[in-house]
Amino acid sequence: MLLFCLRYIRIFARKIKPIRIDIKIVFINSYKNRMKKILFILISALCIYACTPTDYAINGTVDNEALNGTTIFLKQRIDREWITIDSAVVSDMSFTFKGVCDTAKIAYLMYEFPKGNSVRQAFVLENGKISVAVDTTGFMTFAGTKQNELLQSYQNEKNVIYTAEEKNYNAQLDTTNTEDQRKSLEEEMKGLETKEISIDKKYSTDNINTLVGNHIFMNSFYAMSVPQKDSIVSLMNDETKNVKRISEIIQDLSTEKKVAVGQPYTDFRLPTLSGDSLSLSELVGKSDYLLVDFWASWCGPCIRSLPELKKLYEQYKGTRFQIVGVSLDDNKEAWTGAIQSHNLTWNHISDLKGWKNEGARAYAVNSIPCTVLIDKEGKIIGRNLSHSEIENFLKKNDDTKE
């Protein structure tokens, strides 16, 4: 019996030995496979890191030989302030910037040509090779990175509109235009502005929650309607909504809804030229229509619009029409100087706080010129109307009285 048991144990031991060897082999093979995968991941990561640019090089060329010797600035805009990152001088019709960018950001190339005429264009400053070509008109074409090529596509479409708008604006300056020609040009301009807004909305929506998409929205939202802005904001994630400027826009959007067309006006009081103060409530109801004109002495489009506005005021001023100018200047001499030099005879108020002007904040003003038309009952009946549209209200009121 004992011999039988010993023989059984030897047989059993011989049977289980190969099983132990197989388990050991499987474990070793599994370990080797895991190590191969880890090694592959590490090598891949090293390759990606090695292929990722760690600095940027911006190589520029210019088509205008007269730009030789011109200083081109690389700048960033933070809280409405221009911060200079670097500068380069054009030599032999070319210029170069080199540096390291910790994270991709929107930057600008800026220069003056001719003197006093500022030229600037936005691009994505990021590590990598970026090329820029400046044509004879000053328009810049960026290439080299995907983000810059996307932004360039947008800018190309916008440039077509800008060119047409400039042509239209120059045509409107022709003093020999008939009334029909003037109205036709204004209608053409409206169509161009509508196309421009459509481009802004498309790129903002298609590239939502990206650096380029956010930049486009932050620089074009002011021309969009409240529903258009709402539709874009509804697509934003929390990270985008927390971007400082976008968060301010969202807050202003809430304010804008309170002072939209059809809503009662919001009152505010600001200092006058003499040092006294004047409120909207002291003016609303004194004439059939009150135009609140947000402007500034440094605003080119504001100054260009003054001749037509003065003509409108001279024709309808009194019980039918009044204007109050709300300046976003922060320098009293510049403010009063512009009023005197352009002979603006309507009421003027300002707290000289620039973009933080209390009246501008009350009406969510983010670009100027900006106008708000209020009727005799205190209802807002128009925002940013053309002079022809304002005149249509005035004529309508005049015809009713007759």
Residues 6 or more apart whose CB falls under 8 angstroms from that of 71 comprise 87, 88, 89, 90, 111
Within a domain: residue 235?
Answer: yes
Question: Read out DSSP for 13-29?
Answer: HHHHHHHHHHHHHHHHH
Within a domain: residue 33?
Answer: no
Within a domain: residue 4?
Answer: no
Per-residue tens of pLDDT for the chain, all 402 residues: 444 444 444 444 444 444 444 545 545 556 566 666 666 655 554 544 444 568 999 999 999 999 999 999 999 998 878 999 999 999 999 999 999 999 999 999 999 998 888 899 999 999 999 999 999 988 999 999 999 999 999 999 999 999 999 999 899 888 899 988 988 998 999 999 999 999 999 999 999 999 999 999 999 999 999 999 999 999 999 999 999 999 999 999 999 999 999 999 999 999 999 999 999 999 999 999 999 999 999 999 999 999 999 999 999 999 999 999 999 999 999 999 999 999 999 999 999 999 999 999 999 999 999 999 999 999 999 999 988 899 999 987 555 554
In tens, the pLDDT along 35-45 reads 666 666 555 54
Phi and psi angles of residue 19, each rounded to the nearest 5 degrees, phi first: -65, -45
Angle at the Cα of 83 from the Cα atoms of 233 and 360, rounded to 5 degrees = 50
Kindly state whether residues 186 and 248 are assigned to the same domain: yes
Q: Tell me what pLDDT residue 21 has.
A: 45
On whether the CB atoms of residues 307 and 343 are closer than 8 A, the answer is: no
Kindly state whether residues 99 and 162 are assigned to the same domain: no
* Rounded Cα–Cα distance for residues 351 and 333 (Å): 13
Within a domain: residue 294?
Answer: yes
**pTM of the predicted model, to two decimals?**
0.77
Number of domains in the chain: 3
Q: At 78, is the secondary structure helix, strand, or coil?
A: strand
Task: Name the domain boundary from 74, 109, 144.
Answer: 144
Which CATH number do you get for residue 101? 2.60.40.1120
Kindly state whether residues 199 and 304 are assigned to the same domain: no
Q: At 246, is the secondary structure helix, strand, or coil?
A: helix
Q: Tell me what pLDDT residue 346 has.
A: 97
Residues 6 or more apart whose CB falls under 8 angstroms from that of 260 comprise 226, 380, 383
Kindly state whether residues 79 and 175 are assigned to the same domain: no
Kindly state whether residues 65 and 168 are assigned to the same domain: no
* Rounded Cα–Cα distance for residues 326 and 296 (Å): 8
Q: At 245, is the secondary structure helix, strand, or coil?
A: helix
Kindly state whether residues 226 and 250 are assigned to the same domain: yes
Kindly state whether residues 173 and 240 are assigned to the same domain: yes
Kindly state whether residues 186 and 217 are assigned to the same domain: yes
Within a domain: residue 28?
Answer: no
Kindly state whether residues 155 and 139 are assigned to the same domain: no
Task: Name the domain boundary from 97, 120, 144.
Answer: 144
Instruction: At 66, list the tokens.
Output: 């007269």
Kindly state whether residues 322 and 368 are assigned to the same domain: yes
Within a domain: residue 23?
Answer: no
The domain of 201 spans 151-258
Q: Which helix (H) or strand (E) holds 71?
A: strand 71-78
Closest CA to 219 of 201, 235, 207: 201
Within a domain: residue 344?
Answer: yes
Q: At 280, is the secondary structure helix, strand, or coil?
A: helix
Within a domain: residue 12?
Answer: no
Kindly state whether residues 278 and 397 are assigned to the same domain: yes
On whether the CB atoms of residues 393 and 287 are closer than 8 A, the answer is: no
Task: Name the domain boundary from 144, 172, 190.
Answer: 144
CA torsion through residues 348, 351, 354, 356, sign: negative
Kindly state whether residues 211 and 324 are assigned to the same domain: no
